[in-house]
Amino acid sequence: MRNVYVLGTGMLKFGRYPEKTVPELGGQAAMLALKDAGITIKDVEMFACGNLYQSNAMVGQRILHQIGQTGIPVINVSNACATGSTAFREAYMSIAAGMYDIAMAVGVEQMGKQGLLGGTGGGDPAYSTEGKVGSGLMPAVFGQAGVEHMRKYGTKFEHFAKISVKSHKHATKNPFSQYRNEVTLEDVMNARMVGYPNTLYMCCPTGDGAAAAILVSEDKLKQLAGGRKRAKVAASVLTSDPWTDRDLTLPDVSTLTRRASKLAYEKAGLGPKDIALTELHDCFATAELVHYENLGLCGDGEAGAFIDSGGGVHPDLGGKAPVNVSGGLLSKGHPLGATGVANICEVVWHLTQDDRAKERLVPNAKAGQAHVIGLGSACTIHILTV
């Protein structure tokens, strides 16, 4: 497998774009990435597009209608919340395998104000929790994960609330974030309860957005980078859930990430202590907490203590092992198909000291990871290095 690098990135501020179409949003992000890379669409040899809600509508081809049709192969990807990051991996694999030297990945979604409420499995009784335990809707599923952690390890309501406070504080430094407002611990804990222990401020907003990345082989990097620092994809992992002897009325949101994390660290030749920053899938505050342990940022049962000691907080704010310095999904928003590529863009910007992250740069960042899960199931982890 060949080395693969991220030559250019582009991202739109997440928010509401009712006047735009999905291809228009994706096309804008693609053009930003092409400009950042210093190339044109004529140089791109393969295109992978991630979109969920119009997954049967050939969104990738429609984006090329906007920015230029050159006859290249197009792959359209739909993989739950891991849709965008799976598209990125398709572009990565095409170069790593030696098929192409320049590939583009775009993640795009237009959700407006539709909620993140859908359960998994549709009406399949093997997967639906409706009428059995709580609800199969996402706030309930991730609420259950938080309650289970509380029961097992004594984690407190305040620990989840502190995650929301931290992420909203981080978002004040990110112009790409949908919401940039600070919240106090009291604000979070006293907000409307959505699915215990997640209150309103512990749940990610939806919305619209797009992000793009240009990936190249090492030979092309030498030709095109012009001496600019560019991030290497040190590991690209995609997993699904193995069969486990468990109660399907209580979905397992951890095994997926643990397996992917182990593989990613092995492929990159790194460990959790080597990671300068993590962008993880915090669809709810409870998800972020359990993923601290799933990604090895702290030991099992230690997430509460990790939070209390400043874990996950930007070093400029007195923290350590920073998580979601972008503001995370809790502030940035979660337009499903765009999220995975956006997380990778954030990590790349810190590693290359890009001006787009200048207000929130993690100092001396040499390695970072981007993580996304989709229940059903899919998990991607990308470790990037400089």
Active site residues: 81
Neighbouring C-beta atoms of residue 305, cutoff 10 Å: 14
The two tokens of residue 62 are 């429609």
Closest by CA position to 36, among listed 279, 224, 178, 234: 224
Residues 6 or more apart in contact with residue 299 via CB below 8 angstroms = 293
First to last CA, the chain: 18
∠ CA(11), CA(12), CA(15), 5° rounding? Answer: 140
| CB burial string 123-144: b at 16+ within 10 A, e below | eeeebbbeeeebbbbbbbbbbb
Closest by CA position to 199, among listed 164, 151, 149, 170: 164
Q: Which residues pair with 213 in a beta bridge?
A: 9, 105
The upper half-sphere exposure of residue 250, i.e. CA atoms within 13 Å in the direction of its Cβ, equals: 11
Closest by CA position to 278, among listed 374, 343, 211: 343
CB-count burial class (<10 Å; 0-12, 13-18, 19+) for 315: middle
Task: Name the packing angle between helices 285-294 and 138-153 (round to 10°).
Answer: 50
CA 17 – CA 32 distance, rounded (Å): 17
Bond before 272 cis per omega within 30 degrees: no
**Spatial contact of 109 and 209, defined as CB atoms under 8 Å apart:** yes
